Structure 1
Amino acid sequence: MLGIASAVLFFIAFLINAAHIATNDVFSSTNFMLIGLAALALHVAGVGDRWAARGRGRRR
């Protein structure tokens, strides 16, 4: 899930950079890339790995 979110953030950063859209400091392409890198690092670390399966416990 976080991998998809980081891909979306990288795409938004690319669009802002490629279209030369003038934004304020909060919505700059660099900030979107840094947030995307943070989401990607959390994904690689395994933080968002089991969100969908959390409700289904093992039953014996």
Structure 2
Amino acid sequence: MLAIVAAIIFGLGLLLDLLGASLGAGITGTTFLLLGLLLLALHQAGVGTASFRTWRSDWRGRARR
């Protein structure tokens, strides 16, 4: 999920960079680039990827029953 959000952020950053626009208060294409990289790093670290179903019922839990 975070990777999809990062892709959208990268796309917005690219559009801002191509248009040479900023959203005021220092928000530019570079800001979106850094935010996208942060989201990708969180995705690679495993943040937001676990669900309750996979946490509770893995192959070891089924073997014990």
- Please say whether Structure 1 and Structure 2 have the same fold, judged by a TM-score greater than 0.5: yes
- 2:2 aligns with 2
Report the structure, 1 or 2, having the larger helix content: 2
Higher relative contact order (CA 8 A, sep 6+): 1
- Alignment of structure 1 residues 1-60 onto 2, 5 Å: 1-24=1-24, 25=26, 27-50=27-50, 53-54=51-52, 56=53, 57-58=56-57
Partners of 1:46 and 1:32 lie apart in 2 by 21
- Percent identity (aligned): 39
> Greater CA radius of gyration, 1 or 2?
2
**Structure 2 segments unaligned to the other structure (5+ residues):** none
Q: How many residues align?
A: 56
TM-score by length of 2: 0.72
Q: Which portions of structure 1, spanning 4 or more consecutive aligned residues, are displaced by more than 4 angstroms?
A: none
